[in-house]
Amino acid sequence: MKQLRAIREGKVTLAYRNWKKSALKAGSTQLTAYGQLMIDEVTPVPESDITEASARASGYAGKAALMEELAKHPAGQLYRIRFHYLGEDPRIALRENNEITEAEMAGILKKLASLDKHSAIGPWTKQALTAISRHPEERAADLAAALRMDKDWLKLNIRKLKNLGLTESMKIGYRISPRGEEVLAAMKRQ
C-alpha cells in the first residue's frame, strides 16, 4: 500500500518484475487500488540493471530489498517497467453515473447479452446483478453457493460487471452501483 501511495504521488515511476512473458505493453494502462497507471516502457533487462538508485526509484529501501521481493517469483525474464500515474480509476465515476442515455443503455445491454451468450454456463448477468442488489456485501463464496456457480468463476465475471460500472467491490463482497441499479431495472423491463 505504501508503494501504491508513492506511485499516486509520482514518487515511484519504476518497477521490476520477473515474467515468463511480458504482462504489460508500453502505451497500455493498468488499474491499481489507487488509480490508473500509464505504462510508458516495458524492457527486458539483465539483473545488473538494478542499482541502489533504481531500487529506491521503484519504492524499495535498496537493491537487497528489491532482490528479495523478485526472488519470490524467480521464473522468467526480468523486465523494467516505467510508468506514470494517469488518474483516478475511471470505473469510480462511471459507477456513480446513473444518468444513462438510451444509446449507452443499448450498448450496455448488448455487452451483457454478449457476456451471457459466450458464457459456458449460459445467461448469468441478470441473475448475478439481482443477487448482488438483494444481498450487498455478501461473501463471494456465499453468493456463489446461492447462485450455484463456482466462486472463482463468479469473482472473475463480476469483475466484468465492475468494468462496466455496474458493481463495486467492498471489503467483503460486492454492492450494485447506482448505474448498475438502472441497468438492472432496464434488464427487468426487457
Q: How far is CA 112 from the centre of its chain?
A: 18
- What CATH architecture applies to the domain 2-88? Roll (2.30)
Amino acid 35 reads: G
Q: Do domains 2-88 and 91-189 have the same CATH topology?
A: no
The domain limits of the chain are: 2-88, 91-189
Cell numbers for 3, please give them.
508503494
Instruction: Give the model's pLDDT for residue 90.
Output: 74
| Number of other CB atoms surrounding residue 163 within 10 Å | 14
Q: How far apart are CA 36 and CA 15, in angstroms?
A: 15
Q: Is domain 91-189 in CATH 1.10.10.10, yes or no? A: yes
Instruction: Give the model's pLDDT for residue 96.
Output: 77
Would the pTM of this model clear 0.75, i.e. be above it? no
- For each of the chain's 190 residues, which pLDDT tens digit applies? 567 788 888 889 999 999 988 878 999 988 876 788 999 999 999 999 999 999 999 999 999 999 999 999 888 899 999 999 988 877 777 777 888 999 999 999 999 999 999 998 999 999 999 999 999 999 989 999 999 999 999 999 998 999 899 999 898 999 999 999 999 999 999 8
Cell numbers for 115, please give them.
457476456
- Cα 29 to Cα 10, 84, 156: the distances in Å are 16, 10, 19
Instruction: Give the model's pLDDT for residue 71.
Output: 92
